[in-house]
Structure 1
Amino acid sequence: MLLLILTPPLVQGEMIQFMLVTCLCNLLSLCLSCLILLCSYKYLHMLSFLKIYTIKDSMYHALTYATILEMQAMMTFDPEHILAAGNTMKEAQAVCQRTLHRGTLTDSCFSHLVNNCAVIFTSEELHAEVCYAECLLQRAALTFLQDESMISFIKGGIKVRNSYQTYKELHTVLQSSTYVHGDNHGHFEGGVKLGVGAFNLMISMLPTRTLRLLEFVGFSGNKEFGLQQLTEGSAGQTFRSFLCNMLLLCYHTFMSFILGTGEGDVEDAEKLLQPYLKQYPKGSIFLFFAGRIEVIKGNLDAAIERFEECCEAQQQWKQFHHMCYWELMWCFTYKRHWKMAYFYADLLSKENAWSKATYAYMKGAYLSMLTREECQPFQESEVALFRQVHGLKQKIAGKSLPTEKFAIRKARRYLTENPITLPAPPLEMMYIWNGYTVIGKHKDLTEGIFVMGLDCCTLCSEGTEFSIDDQCLVSLLKGLCLKHLGHQEEAEAYFTLVLCNETQIKFDHYLVPNALLEHGLLCLEQGRKEEGIKLLETAKQNYKNYSMESRTHFRIQAALHKAKATGENGIHTMPSSP
């Protein structure tokens, strides 16, 4: 869920485009001023600043203003905010269309050779194309949030495809021998690199089944090429350099961590972040990323300090605090400080609308780790909280959130008159969010989870229909702890134990493919590449319709990509443009 909220503002949210060449310098300085205000999170100042100018006559200001409203809508999920952002973005798109060359680039190039398009289109029109592609992408995101109908879903998909095709054509124009570099070439090229890089990176991370479907309808993604485009875009002195940097930071600290094998590129992330953190030491967004880097490094106390500092840095946009609360909740979970973790889950449940079902589940999970005496000060019980989960579910783009569906399934055993306690639910959810790669950097934390958190936690379900499922869950989590403690043979034995009980598992069918995934990763770490790939392929091909299936497939895809892209000498190859 966090990714849904974070990604649009960073990947799409601040792409301020170009207007007329004659007033480029003045408008650039204005938008750079807006960006500085945004970096400092002087949100109200920025809106006042933009309202001075005529939004409807400037692509720059129209898209900037619409983007700010979309960021607000993504943060709040308020229907009124979503509607206002959608209408404003539609107006921004209309401003762009007035400058387009007889329609859009893909329409015009349908009857011309692409090379000739570099001559046919003026520099101003090409800049308008980049702006138009961004409007399409942002309107698609709002369409998915605003309406759950299949028609709206299809409309949103068409917008995404048209945006993708426009970026693809613009990239071809850049490669054309007839394209002449104008005064604003660097900024135009930066915009294309951002769009092409973002699409390639995002599409390449998708599970194989989804990727094949997208390729069938004309999409393609190359991870190395996407990273290359974004890196080149970030290195330039253009307006899009900042946006390329932010997307790379998001990839290294979130996407590759949560949807990958739990390994973010900390060194690259720190290099990207330091100049901005130095220039804007109180910039909330930069303090937030600094906290994420500390989490990945395993420096939990430093991470907590960063997130708290981030909350103190600005008070105008309270929704941004909620991202920090989510991170703080997990930091205290890793440290097994259940009361503090509950505190932040409770704050989220009261103030935030992203996923109230997940928050209720996490609150119940933390209370379940406390003794009866420790629970007395709290005004709610774990049983009551778990029973609330189902009624709090929501849908986005017509689909239930995977984490919410997982929480609902796990909480069902509390709906009976005599509920059967879950075995260490926060430790299970910690696995879903790849948290064991964090505690694995601390021997004391890992041993604490292994001994205190998992010891005898299946006693409550012994002799019930849940007993085998709970035993297999504990085996998976013990295997993870042992792997990080360096006891690889014992870890492998626990992963194998889950597979041996496959036919007896009644509810938590996700445990088997995930045990195969972890076993495969263990083999890869030991240099048993062929065996590891075989286990990963088995997990990918032989199992379906289980909880959190998409997230497991994301991780399998990342592991296979890493295994297959690394040769015997450990060198990665850089493919050419797709």
Structure 2
Amino acid sequence: MGEVERPRSLSRITVDSDTEYLDAYDHVTYSNSLELLDTIAETQITLNLFMNNKFELAEERMAELYDKSMYHSMGYTCILFIKAVMTVNKQDMEKAAEACKMSVEVIERFREKRTIKETIFGATAKGKKITDEELHAELCYAQMLLIRAMLTFFHDDNFASFIKGALNIRTCYQTYRYCEKLMNEPSVWIGRNKKVQEQFESGTRMGLGTFSLMLSVLPSKVLRLLEVVGFSGDKVAGMRDLQHVASMTGTLCSPLAKMVLLTWHLIASFVLGTGQPDLEVCKRIMPGLTHLWPRGAIMLFMKARLLLISGDIETAIHYFNMSIESQDTYKQFHHGCYWELLFAHGYQRRWSHAANYARLLMKESKWSRCVYTYLLCIFFAADETVDEARRNETINALAGKVDGLRLRIAGKSIPVEKYCGRKAKRFVATQSLLFAHYEFIYFWNGFDIFGKNPKMVRGVLEDMDRVWELKKSTCDIDDYCLYYFLKGVSLRHLHLNAQAEECFKAVLERETSIKSFTYLPPNATYELAMLRISEQQFIEAQTLLDKARAYKSYSLENKLHFRIHSAMGTMGCRTPMM
């Protein structure tokens, strides 16, 4: 393998028998080899550099041969894509899009040449005579199509771009399916280097496993439509594929599969309401990755997230701060930590701390100034240590800005921003933000996190009861229903089912009188169903979930649909066609 010395240098340190990464600034050797396994090894080193916060060096390493090697080209584009998505900067987006276009051209040079019949009807694997490079070119091509689709969604927010992106995702999925056929065809692997086969299998299984996992969260109505055009989603099969790849030590995709599993259990399962995470799997995965990437900002974030969900909020806050302090190159990584710290302090009712992180996000992050401004508004409103006159002046100023900061993608409003805009406009009209901070925490599944700690739940309940006694005489029916809804949620987490049920029924009995908070009745119906599931009354639970799903045109509707789909899955049911 030919090697050349480069001016920048680091020392190579062996972490385990299969993986190397570069750490201390000392000496580095770059490989100029274009042999397939050598380029994969270079990409593995670059992955470890990136995950250990050596972002610029990782980008430089992949740029060396990105116009000649498909793996260098893919790695370089992935790094630029991550940067572009974090910064939401037009120039970064354009640079990533240009690199993606170049990568596709490089990869196309390595792909097998297909007949007209194969182009029209799809390629078959049986009897194929295909080189190592042609095999891996299919994998790299699938990955590039996915990145191209994501860039299209971010860069061009018109409807035509969405259609183009969707078509790229469909072609990506079909390419992974073709790779699966090649993987399962014995004749393809006769006389083949076993490492080439292992790297190919890990990439194929990871792609299909991730697709299956994400498709599985979609309601059956949507999934059945996607199945018509060739997609399929099976959570069990997706998990099986990803866990298999995670066990394939030494392959490029093994640590990536572990990261996907961590992301699923620690983040996606809460954002999408897809059910309880498997924390035992996370605890088994975490030590190996923290050994591999001990100071990595992303790894420290994941460790903090695991601690948070496990109920150790103080230690979680410590690790989120460690993640922030670990690097300054990508400030956007800090923003993810600010978001988590905002909620962590919110769980502990430290409203001034939560407001400070909302202020930082509003000032620094481009993702959604509408949401950050609303969060600053509601946390500032909850902070009773602030002088009342100053508090009211600040809240009014912030609430007046929220709706005007909303973004539109492909002509459509973002649901959470629409919700924030409506809440802010209602405050301007009624001067009431009663329990808006607890309401937002509920919608972001915060009660499922701190709900495991009875002391914290009782603290929230006592706080709401105290405030309600002070303000109930001036509240309208919407505030009344919000109070009883959140009280019911707290009581459910304390396993006081009879009292919780009374609260949810109090909301539903006043359904026709609710003016603004029309999302409360469907969510109260869902919460009643969760009570029935905990009591193993599955038939009644399914009836309630069907009823909750039948509601239409209310704020954050999709969030509730994801929760309903997950609850149905827990009982072994499929959400019905509508």
Query: Do both proteins adopt the same fold according to a TM-score greater than 0.5, normalized to the shorter chain?
Result: yes
CA distance in 1, matches of 2:445, 2:369: 21
Moved more, 179-188 or 107-116: 107-116
Give TM-score, length-normalised by structure 1. Answer: 0.89
CA distance in 2, matches of 1:140, 1:421: 42
Give TM-score, length-normalised by structure 2. Answer: 0.89
Change over 3 Å in CA distance of 1:164–1:25 after alignment to 2 = closer
Paired residue secondary structure (2:516)? coil
The match for 2:69 is 58
Whether 2:555 is the aligned partner of 1:527: answer no
Change over 3 Å in CA distance of 1:211–1:454 after alignment to 2 = farther
Amino acid at match of 1:382: I
Gapped runs of 5+ residues in structure 1?
A: 1-19, 567-578
**How many angstroms does 1:123 deviate by?**
2.8
**How many angstroms does 1:399 deviate by?**
3.1
CA distance in 1, matches of 2:391, 2:359: 11
The match for 2:110 is 99
Question: Considering only aligned residues, what root-mean-square deviation do their CA atoms show, in Å?
Answer: 2.3
The counterpart of 1:114, out of the listed 112, 116, 124, is 124
Change over 3 Å in CA distance of 1:94–1:457 after alignment to 2 = farther
CA distance in 1, matches of 2:344, 2:205: 35
Change over 3 Å in CA distance of 1:66–1:458 after alignment to 2 = farther
**How many angstroms does 1:456 deviate by?**
4.1
Cα-to-partner distance string for 1:348-403 (whole Å, 9 max, x where unaligned): 11110111000000000011112374467889711111111011111335432221
**How many angstroms does 1:405 deviate by?**
1.0
The counterpart of 1:87, out of the listed 80, 98, 107, is 98
The counterpart of 2:420, out of the listed 402, 407, 431, is 407
Whether 2:279 is the aligned partner of 1:266: answer yes
Moved more, 254-263 or 543-552: 254-263
Change over 3 Å in CA distance of 1:301–1:397 after alignment to 2 = farther
Whether 2:556 is the aligned partner of 1:548: answer yes
The counterpart of 1:485, out of the listed 482, 494, 500, is 494
The match for 1:185 is 197
Whether 2:55 is the aligned partner of 1:48: answer no
The counterpart of 1:67, out of the listed 54, 57, 78, is 78
The match for 1:282 is 295
The match for 1:176 is 185
Cα-to-partner distance string for 1:280-319 (whole Å, 9 max, x where unaligned): 2211111111111111111110110110111111111111
Asked whether the equivalents of residues 148 and 397 of structure 1 are also in contact (C-alpha less than 8 Å), the reply is: yes
The counterpart of 1:205, out of the listed 192, 217, 222, is 217
The match for 1:341 is 354
Amino acid at match of 1:48: E
Asked whether the equivalents of residues 196 and 226 of structure 1 are also in contact (C-alpha less than 8 Å), the reply is: yes
Cα-to-partner distance string for 1:383-430 (whole Å, 9 max, x where unaligned): 1111110111113354322211110111112334xx421211110000
1:143-158 matches, within 5 Å, as 143-158=152-167
The counterpart of 1:27, out of the listed 35, 39, 42, is 39
**How many angstroms does 1:109 deviate by?**
6.4
CA distance in 2, matches of 1:324, 1:160: 30
CA distance in 2, matches of 1:375, 1:134: 54
CA distance in 1, matches of 2:547, 2:384: 41
Paired residue secondary structure (2:432)? coil
CA distance in 2, matches of 1:361, 1:458: 25
Moved more, 196-205 or 495-504: 495-504
The match for 1:391 is 404
CA distance in 1, matches of 2:36, 2:83: 27
Amino acid at match of 2:198: G
Whether 2:247 is the aligned partner of 1:247: answer no
Paired residue secondary structure (1:179)? helix
CA distance in 2, matches of 1:179, 1:208: 36
CA distance in 1, matches of 2:271, 2:491: 21
Asked whether the equivalents of residues 147 and 398 of structure 1 are also in contact (C-alpha less than 8 Å), the reply is: no
Cα-to-partner distance string for 1:425-477 (whole Å, 9 max, x where unaligned): 1100001100001221222211111111354448758577xx22221111111
Asked whether the equivalents of residues 130 and 188 of structure 2 are also in contact (C-alpha less than 8 Å), the reply is: no
Paired residue secondary structure (2:110)? coil
Moved more, 350-359 or 495-504: 495-504
The match for 1:430 is 441
CA distance in 2, matches of 1:378, 1:415: 14
Paired residue secondary structure (2:294)? coil
Cα-to-partner distance string for 1:522-544 (whole Å, 9 max, x where unaligned): 2111111211122112212x111
1:434-453 matches, within 5 Å, as 434-453=445-464
**How many angstroms does 1:175 deviate by?**
2.2
The match for 1:131 is 140
The counterpart of 2:339, out of the listed 295, 312, 326, is 326
Gapped runs of 5+ residues in structure 2?
A: 1-31
CA distance in 2, matches of 1:206, 1:451: 37
CA distance in 2, matches of 1:134, 1:534: 42
Cα-to-partner distance string for 1:148-204 (whole Å, 9 max, x where unaligned): 221111101100000011111221222234332521000001110011101111011
The counterpart of 2:175, out of the listed 166, 174, 185, is 166
| Residue identity (%) | 36
CA distance in 1, matches of 2:252, 2:200: 9
Amino acid at match of 2:135: L
1:5-16 matches, within 5 Å, as none
**How many angstroms does 1:508 deviate by?**
1.4
Moved more, 347-356 or 530-539: 530-539
Amino acid at match of 2:200: F
The match for 1:518 is 527
Q: How many residues align?
A: 539
Asked whether the equivalents of residues 207 and 554 of structure 1 are also in contact (C-alpha less than 8 Å), the reply is: yes
CA distance in 1, matches of 2:141, 2:109: 10
CA distance in 1, matches of 2:465, 2:84: 41
Asked whether the equivalents of residues 125 and 185 of structure 2 are also in contact (C-alpha less than 8 Å), the reply is: yes
CA distance in 1, matches of 2:316, 2:167: 40
Whether 2:87 is the aligned partner of 1:76: answer yes
CA distance in 1, matches of 2:533, 2:198: 42
The counterpart of 2:245, out of the listed 216, 229, 233, is 233
Paired residue secondary structure (1:98)? helix
CA distance in 2, matches of 1:485, 1:111: 58
CA distance in 1, matches of 2:386, 2:142: 58
**How many angstroms does 1:26 deviate by?**
2.3
Asked whether the equivalents of residues 439 and 446 of structure 1 are also in contact (C-alpha less than 8 Å), the reply is: yes
CA distance in 2, matches of 1:379, 1:40: 45
**How many angstroms does 1:132 deviate by?**
0.4
Whether 2:573 is the aligned partner of 1:561: answer no
Paired residue secondary structure (1:57)? coil
The match for 2:431 is 420
Cα-to-partner distance string for 1:87-123 (whole Å, 9 max, x where unaligned): 111110111111112259x97365577242x514333
Asked whether the equivalents of residues 207 and 550 of structure 1 are also in contact (C-alpha less than 8 Å), the reply is: no
Amino acid at match of 2:567: A
CA distance in 2, matches of 1:430, 1:109: 50
CA distance in 1, matches of 2:513, 2:389: 38
Paired residue secondary structure (1:415)? helix
CA distance in 2, matches of 1:317, 1:213: 39
Cα-to-partner distance string for 1:31-86 (whole Å, 9 max, x where unaligned): 122111111111112223333x2321111111111111100111111111111111
If asked which structure has higher relative contact order (CA below 8 Å, sep 6+), I would say 1
CA distance in 1, matches of 2:420, 2:509: 26
Change over 3 Å in CA distance of 1:532–1:159 after alignment to 2 = same
Amino acid at match of 1:345: A
Asked whether the equivalents of residues 231 and 244 of structure 1 are also in contact (C-alpha less than 8 Å), the reply is: yes
CA distance in 2, matches of 1:538, 1:234: 40
The counterpart of 1:220, out of the listed 195, 216, 232, is 232
